[in-house]
Amino acid sequence: MDKNSSVAEEGNKEEEQYLNLIREILTRGTWEEGRNGRTKSIFGHSMRFSLQDGKIPILTTKKTAWKTCLKELLWFIRGETDNKLLQDQGVHIWDGNSTREFLDSRGLNNYDVNELGPIYGRQWRNFNAPYISKKDKRFAEGLPENEKLYYNIEGGVDQLQQIIDALKDPAQRTSRRLIMTAWNPCQLDNMALPPCHILCQFNVHDGNKLSCSMYQRSNDEACGTSFNIASYSFLTHLIAKHCGLEAYEFVYFKGNCHIYEEHVDGLKLQITREPYPFPTVSIKQVRENINDYCVDDFEIHNYQHHEPIKFQMVA
C-alpha cells in the first residue's frame, strides 16, 4: 500500500482513542518511580474497537509487527511457556524476562533460561495445574516409575476449550460466564512475569455476534498496547471463525496506563501523525482443533501505516 496516499475522508476515530490517551498521560499524568524505571501514568481508561466486516484494529500511526503479535497469541493458545519456541520463529518479546539474571531476580533459580513458568497460555489451558520445572522433570527421569507420577501431572482447567464448547452450543453461547483469566494468585510467584492482561470475557448478542472485553492491570502504552489491541482482536476473530459466529467488537478496559520516560519522545512523534483506516483480516479455513491454526491461516488486507518508531521494551 502506498504510504503517501491520502487518509480516507472518514479518518479513524477508533485509533484516535489511543492517541488521545497518550496526550492525556503526557498532559496530566504523574511521574512515578516503579519496579523497572520511571513512568508517567494515569489510572483507569477504556476503548472500543469494531471488528465487523473483518476489521482488525492494528494501529497505523506506526508500523505494528502484527505477525509477531499473532505468533505470540498462537503460542498462548497452545498453552506454551517456553520462550525458545518463540525465538525459533524470530519473536523476541519475552527475551528480557527469560534471562538467567531476570529469572534469578524473581527467585526462579531452578528454571532454565527461556523457561517462563505458568504464564498466560498455561493458565488459559491448564489453570492452576501444578507447574514442574524442566530441571525437576530431568531429575524425575532417574526415579522409579511409581515416583515419576507427580512430575507428570497436567490437569487443571482448560478455560479456553470450555468457552469454545459453550460458544458452539446455541443453548450456552449467550451465557454471561464466558470468562478466561490468567491471574492466578496461587502461582504468581512461579511466573517469570505476572500477567498484565489478566481477564477477558466473551459475549454473544443477536444470535451470532461475538464480542470480547479484556481487563489489563498494567499498560505499557508505547510497546504493549498496540500488541494487546491486535492480539485480543485476532483472538476474537479466530474464536468467531472457529465457532461459526461473526466477530463484532473488542472492548478494552485499562488499569495503570503508563509511559516509560525513555518512550516519551517517540510517542510525541506518534501523536502528530494522522491515522489511516484499519485493515481487515480473513481466516482461510476452520481447523478441527484450536491448537492447529498457524500464521499462514491469516491474511491481512490493506494495512496502510506510517513508518516504524523504535521503542525499547522494558523488562
Look up the CATH superfamily of 64-205+221-230.
Thymidylate synthase/dCMP hydroxymethylase domain (3.30.572.10)
Q: How many CA atoms lie within 13 A of 270 on its CB side?
A: 29
pLDDT in tens, 163-210: 999 999 999 999 999 999 999 999 999 999 999 999 999 999 999 999
Residues 156, 123: Cα–Cα separation, whole Å: 8
Q: Structural domain boundaries of the chain? A: 64-205+221-230
Contact criterion met (CB below 8 Å) for 111 and 104: no
- Are 70 and 298 spatial neighbours (Cβ–Cβ below 8 Å)? yes
Alpha carbon distance 207, 178 (integer Å): 16
- Look at the alpha carbons of 101, 107, 112, 115 in this order and tell me if their dihedral is positive or negative: negative
Which residues contact residue 207 at a Cβ distance below 8 angstroms, ignoring those fewer than 6 apart? none
In 10 A of CB 12, how many CB atoms? 20
- Non-local (6+) Cβ contacts of 24 within 8 A are 42, 45
CB 87 within 8 A of CB 95: yes
Question: Any idea which residue has 503479535 for its cell?
Answer: 69
Q: What is the pLDDT of residues 130-175, one digit of tens each?
A: 999 999 888 878 777 766 666 666 789 999 999 999 999 999 999 9
Other CB atoms within a 10 A radius of the CB of residue 145 amount to 6
Q: Residue 152: what pLDDT?
A: 66
**DSSP per position, 109-123:** TTSPTTB--S-HHHH
Q: Is the dihedral of CA 58, 62, 67, 69 positive or negative?
A: negative
Q: Which residues are catalytic?
A: 196
For the stretch 61-109, pLDDT in tens is: 999 999 999 999 999 999 999 999 999 999 999 999 999 999 999 999 9
Residues facing 46 on adjacent strands: 253
Element (H, E) at 45: strand 37-50
